[in-house]
Amino acid sequence: MPEDFPSADPPSAQFPTAGLQRLSPGDRVFGRFILIAELGRGAMGVVFSARDEVLGAEVALKFVPDFLRWNPSILAGLRDEVRQARTLSHPHIVRVYELHQDALSAAIAMEYVEGQSLREFRLARPGQILGPEEILPWLGGLADALDYAHREAGLIHRDLKPANILLTQTGAAKLSDFGLARRAADEVSQLSQWQPCGTLPFMSPQQLAGDPPSAADDIYALGATLYECLTGRPPFHSGYLPHQIESRSPDSIAGRRRSLGIKAPPVPRSWETAVAACLAKDPADRPASARALLEALEGRRVLPPPRSAGAPSARPSLRERLVGPPAGLARVVYAKAKAGV
Do 190 and 71 form a contact (C-beta atoms < 8 A)?
A: no
Q: How far apart are CA 340 and CA 334, in angstroms?
A: 10
Would you call 203 exposed, middle or buried from its count of C-beta atoms within 10 A (0-12, 13-18, 19+)?
Answer: buried
In this structure, the dihedral spanned by the alpha carbons of residues 1, 10, 69 and 322, taken in order and rounded to 10 degrees, is -110
Angular region, 90: left φ>0, alpha ψ -120 to 50, beta rest: beta
Collect all residues with Cβ–Cβ distance below 8 Å to 9 and sequence separation of at least 6: 15, 42, 43
4 is catalytic: no
User: Cβ atoms within 10 A of the Cβ of 294, count?
Assistant: 21
Determine which one of 4, 66, 147, 159 is catalytic.
159
* Residues designated catalytic: 159
